[in-house]
Amino acid sequence: MKKGFSTKSLVRGALIAAAYATLSYLSAPLTFMFFQFRLSEALCVLPIFLPEAIPGLFIGCLIANYLSGCVIWDIIFGSIATLIGAILARALAKLPRKLMFLSTVPTVIANAIIVPFVIIYAYGSPESYLFLFFTVLVGELVTATGVGTILYYQLEKRKFLIG
């Protein structure tokens, strides 16, 4: 087994970053602030199939947040939430097929915990942490778990590069 990334995996990671950034940017204004209804979060199932999806999702989130004019703390910590979710999703890749929807839980939880702090402290939002936690949680459940689970089963059914 080779160490590091091949050219093919680097290109796949870059394509995932571009897809994440594009989906985030195109789904604005529901993508940013307390709604966090990012269709790109469905891509957080990709680390189950491809390890290069982890840096791809992280870089895609950095790009999306930067291009959308987010403050530096949002660019950093929002992207770290996505990175945490991607790493933990990869760790859950060996779940039985019928429980694979659980691999979306780390993304949902990481964003629901971290993003409200960012919204409050980086943007001075007057909403409570609990309100923001639940709004981010709902958005993540719809996109990461709902749409992401559909994406997972479609990719798995087509024997998409599991590994």
The yes-or-no verdict on residue 2 having pLDDT over 60 is no
Which residues neighbour 62 within 8 Å (Cβ) at sequence distance 6 or greater?
A: 75, 79
- pTM of the model as a whole: 0.90
Domains and CATH numbers, the chain: 7-157 (1.10.1760)
pLDDT in tens, 113-152: 999 999 999 999 999 999 999 999 999 999 999 999 999 9
Identity of the residue numbered 45: V
The HSE-up count of residue 121 (CA atoms within 13 Å, CB side) is 10
